[in-house]
Amino acid sequence: MKKIIVIGCPGSGKSTLSRKLHKITNIPLFYLDMMYWNADRTIVDAPIFYQRISDIMNKNEWIMDGNYGSTLELQIKECDTVIFLDYPLEVCLDGIRERRGKARTDMPWFEAEDEEDAEFMEFVQNYHMQNRLQVMELFEKYSDKNIIVFNNREEARLFLEKMQIPSKIKLLIDNKPYTVDDVGMSGNRVLIFEDMVLKIEHDPIATRKQVQIMKWLEEKTFVPRVIEYEEKSSKCYLLMSKIGGKMSCDEYYLDNADILLKALADGLKMLWKVDISGCPVVRDLDTVLNEARLQVENNLVDVDNVDPETFGEKGFESPRHLLDWLENNRPTVEPVFSHGDYCLPNIFLEEGQVSGFIDLSRAGVGDKWNDIALCYRSLKHNFSGMYGGKIYEDFNADKLFEVLGIEPAWDKIKYYLLLDELF
């Protein structure tokens, strides 16, 4: 892609997409509105307008944002790629309303918040019945062009996201179909291919540790194989093999709690059997509390996303107060290889057996009771319908201890659940 036009109904987000595309590719960006209109809302003479377009098209690279039916065929003829934002009318109308009253780089004047141009709105209302037909006819005529059509904003966002993927990984996944995983609460992007998974994260330190741990564990237990890892523009791209089976929070396993509990207990024991000598990451209490301190000192604790009783009248005054309590009430530690985030979405099962562990950014040598505590809480949350699933009123998460064959250490469980509230 070197000569690109971005077209679509006004309000679809052509200019926004064009700016993001320009930022990713460094290809010069030109707005047709800036070439057609003067600052006083008069239009330039037609010969001047066409000359401006011609001058751009003589360049080796360009992104051109704008429709202008009189020039559309010329644009399509001269470009190598067409990006068409084919969004529903209501989406475009919402886009128009949202942009009013905001400064724009793609127009030579400021559009007031309460301003509405009747002629312009009539054009928008008729776009899908009239102008869109012209676009489709030109697509048929110039079918040799690279024509990319987006039907919604999510498709456009994913396209831009894929364009930012570093070259080595892009070669490995190019043109392969994928789905987007939206399970989990990390905010990271996960693209799932037939035999691979691409995870896009924003924390280089944590992701590097995860890669290190995964490579160290490769011959020791069931974890994804690291295929490629790259960093670009403050994002981390981890391409790994795909683990078979289903997440342990799948409805099948929630419906079969006995199978689930045994598998989760087996998974914990499997991790605890890993020889921790030579483990490249140590997450002892000193390390984790130091990380918690950074969270508190930088006001990064999301107090709205914690147990309602953690802070307030019945709980701690503040994250600082909680941190002080954690510092002064350290439990005795039973060091093992710890997953660090042993929650149901991070444990994969196949035919009732553990098939793999994922999301290992907090893994390393740590206290076994951290894993037990997070697993216990995850069970309670998933079976209570907290994430929108069924409610299993007869389920008792305490059965986990029975299956593990241990007595619950409630003081340690409380400690690690409170510690997790700071992350």
**Catalytic residue ranges:** 341
What are the contacts of 177-183 at 24+ separation with CB within 8 A?
Answer: 183/247, 183/249, 183/345
22/39 Cα distance (integer angstroms): 24
Residue 271 near residue 366 (C-beta atoms within 8 A): no
How many C-beta neighbours within 10 Å does residue 141 have? 12
C-alpha 142/C-alpha 391 separation (Å) is 55
How far is Cα 152 from Cα 423, in angstroms, rounded to an integer?
34
Give the Cα separation of 373 and 363 in Å (integer): 15
Unique residue bearing structure tokens 């036009």? 5
Closest by CA position to 85, among listed 28, 21, 30, 23: 21
Residues 6+ apart with CB under 8 A from 281: 209, 212, 213, 363, 364, 365
| 317-348 CB burial, b ≥16 within 10 A, e <16 | eebeebbeebeeeebeeeebbbbbbbbbbbbb
Helices in 79-221 by DSSP H: which ranges?
89-99, 118-127, 131-141, 153-163, 167-173, 204-217
Q: Return the ∠ at Cα 159 (arms to 19 and 68), rounded to 5°.
A: 50
